[in-house]
Structure 1
Amino acid sequence: MYDITLFTPQDMAKCSLVLRHLGRNTASMEASSQKIVNYIYQHFCDSQTGENSCALVRLFKTHPYGELEDSLQQSARCLMNGHPPAADMKCWTLLAAAGTEPQWNSRHTAAKNTAIPLVSTQLVAQMPAISEIIRQFGLDIPTCLGIEPERFLQLEPAVLNIFHVPEAKGSPFIPEQDSLILPYQIKSVLGFGGLLRSGSLFAVVMFLKVKIPQSTAEMFKSLAVSVKKSLSAYDEQNVFDNPRNANNSVMNNNVIESQLLDFQVANLIQLLEFSEQKMLRQAARFQRTIDKLQREIANRKKKEEAFKASQEPFTGIVNIPQDNIVPFEENQGI
């Protein structure tokens, strides 16, 4: 288990290793996603009490409307006021959830709107939670909606980031204040994710009952790499659970294993590059610290030398032999 208030790089490495392998032996991206949110919900706990640190964990993915199952398409249409949806319209889709309440442990019952249509750049900009996730991930709305595919191709390997709201209560980026934040005493919200090769954006969002600083949140960028690895094998096929996927899971096992190996190689390379970049940033910070200390030491030496030089005129006075000192008395006598 991991105490997020005491989360260390060693904890991050252990958690990352587990998440990278949760995509194995599953029939769909949805099944892998459910494993991921279950693991996070169950294993992030208070080290003293054993209480879950998260009230709720969700995993979202943008997905074309035309490829959604019927129930998700219906959810999207309910928000479109009768306007006909385009088949390639992206929808902010809930793939998996795990949490305190029983209904939170299935994507079918975890939220009122399980597929939110991302109709246009203007409308997405008015959705505070989604637009802020996009912004904090270092993206722009047109890229996420597929309006600028050439820009996406340049960004996809590099975009793995976090979404952090240190103070959830009263935050304009968390609209579920009355239904979630206040009744369940959510202190911070932390998300992490990035881009998949298909052009989809994925995000794991943790609603935490403890407050965490930015330094802790930054470590979850590494977990984004591992979650991407688990989801990648099903990025363009078998996204949602259905009986056919379950029945064919054994038949497709060799194909899936082959795909997983291919994605594993690609993602391990990406993880290595990500780690190298992180090491370079840490080395740069370390070098800046050393340079600062060296400047401070040099300045201190200069001040000491200047102080010594200023004291030289007084050194001769202090060292005058006692025989050469003549005392004067108050009555002006010698």
Structure 2
Amino acid sequence: MAKFSDLRNVFPLLDSVKARTRDCVSLEEASGEVLDLLMEQFGESIVLTRLFATVAYGQLPSENQSFVRRLTTNKLAGALLTDDTPILSLMASRGVKPAWNDRRQSAGHLGIPLVSADFVDSIPMIARLLAEVGFEMDWLAADSGGIDVNTLSKMSGVFYVRDASSAVDDQGRKIISAQGFVRDAGVQTVFGLAGGFAIDKTFLAILFFCNETIERRQADQFLPLMSTVKASTVTVVADRALFA
């Protein structure tokens, strides 16, 4: 077990991802294997790591649908929710607390509905993540024609917040709004990797909440990981074998 800052060559990690996911029969299973591997190799740095994928609301398990309905209703956005609404869905979670190792126990992030640009903008971390990797908020407008799959498939990027306790967006809001979690868990840097498939408008994101300061150049070293995860899961995503 090592720290992120100890990484010198990412390619052995990529080979391990391929090996660990080779026999997985669902995206949820593969996501868990990827996060298990990351915790095994970089557990000295990781407080919490999570992998998300966009899934159409109508394709979600019933418990996820119930969570999303409550969330949109509470935020007065329930009327915008349809079976085709992309939901940034938690596929796997691993962390230093037992409850963080079961995605179903997530209190607030089991599914984040991308129902409108305004709704996404109300969640600073997700808004920044999507903006930094080139996800166009205009795609979420009712008259936009939807997400551009060709553009989505080419998207790949790194989300980066050097200091989780102080970083703010252009509206002066804390990018990591859960400041109680940041303080209690000793989170320093948050970074993420994201990219899209040219398949059914599926978009993946892996987030890392770290107990050390990670420089941008160190976070950028992990970008090939997203390409490897996509390549390793393209079959199950194409088959819509999403949840275990």
**Fold similarity call, TM over 0.5:** yes
SS in 2 for 1:61: strand
> Which residue matches 1:228?
230
Matches within 5 A, 1:222-261: 222-236=224-238, 237-241=240-244
Shift of 1:123: 1.5
CA distance 1:167–1:145, change in 2 (3 Å): farther
Cα–Cα, structure 1 residues 230 and 61, in superposed 2: closer, same or farther, change >3 Å? Answer: same
Q: Deviations over 1:176-205 (max 9, x none)?
A: 111x21101101011112002221211010
Aligned twin of 1:105: 101
Give 2:54's aligned residue.
62
> How big is each residue's C-alpha offset from its partner over 1:58-103, in whole Å with a ceiling of 9 and x where there is no partner?
0011111011010000000011227353100111211100111111
Work out whether residues 22 and 230 of structure 1, in 8 Å CA contact, stay in contact via their aligned partners in 2: no
Closer, same or farther in 2 for the Cα pair 1:144/1:162, shift >3 Å? farther
The residue number in structure 1 matching 2:150 is 153
Percent identity for Structure 1 against Structure 2: 24
> 1:21 touches 1:230 (CA, 8 Å); kept in 2?
no
Greater per-residue strand proportion: 2
Considering only CA atoms, is the larger Rg found in Structure 1 or Structure 2?
A: 1
1:194 aligns with 2:191: no
Partner of 1:16: 14
Matched, 1:218 2:220: yes
Amino acid at match of 1:142: D
TM-score where L is the length of structure 1: 0.65
Q: What do the CA deviations read for 1:192-240 (whole angstroms, capped 9, x no partner)? A: 1200222121101010001011111111111111111122121141100
CA contact 1:137–1:163 (8 Å) conserved in 2: yes
- Code of the residue aligned with 2:4 in structure 1: it is I
| Distance change >3 Å, CA 175–CA 163, structure 1 → 2 | same
Aligned residues: 231
For structure 2, the 5+ residue unaligned runs are 168-173
Contact 2:116/2:140, CA 8 A, preserved across alignment: no
Unaligned runs of at least 5 residues, structure 1: 46-51, 242-334
Larger relative contact order (C-alpha < 8 A, sep ≥ 6)? 2
CA 89–39 in structure 1, closer or farther in 2 if over 3 Å, else same:
same
TM-superposition CA deviations, 1:151-200 (whole Å, max 9, x none): 431441x312111111111332111111x211011010111120022212
For residues 138 and 220 of structure 2, the distance between their equivalents in structure 1, rounded to whole angstroms, comes to: 25
How far does the alpha carbon of each residue in 1:121-171 deviate from its partner, in whole angstroms, 9 at most, with x for none? 222122211111111112222347894557431441x31211111111133
TM-score (ref. length: structure 2): 0.88
